[in-house]
Chain A
Amino acid sequence: MKTVIYASLLTAVVSAYLFVTAPPPLPDKSRVESRGDRDIPVSDLFNIVNQINKDTRNIWTARIVSKGTEAGLKFEEHWLDEGHESGPLPALFMRLTAENLEKQRAPLAVFLGSDMPIKKANIFQGEQVDQFIKMREDFKPKYFSMQKMGIEVGMYPDIASAPGCVSCHNDHPDSAKHDWKLNDLMGAATWTYPTAAISQAELHESIGYVYKAIARSYQTYIEKAQSFSTQVQIGAEWPEKGKMALPDTAVFMSAVIQATAQPTINATYLGRDSKK
Chain B
Amino acid sequence: MSVETTSVASPSRPSLWKRLPVIHQLRQSVGLQRGMLVAGLILTGIFVLAAIFAPLIAPFGYGQLRDENGTFGAQQPPSAEHLLGTTVGGYDVLSRVIWGSQTAMLVILIAVVLSIFAGVFLGLFSGYLGGWVDRVLVVVCDAIYAFPSLLLAIVMSIVISGGQSSLFGGILAAAISITVVFIPQYFRVIRAETVRIKAEAFVESAKVLGSSSFRIMFRHVLRNATRTLPLIFTLNASEAILTLAGLGFLGFGIEPTSAAEWGYDLNKSISDVTSGIWWTSVFPGLAIVMVVLGVTLIGESMNDLADPRLRTRRRADGAPAALATSTVVPGGSLDSVADLDTASVFKSGEALS
A and B bind: no
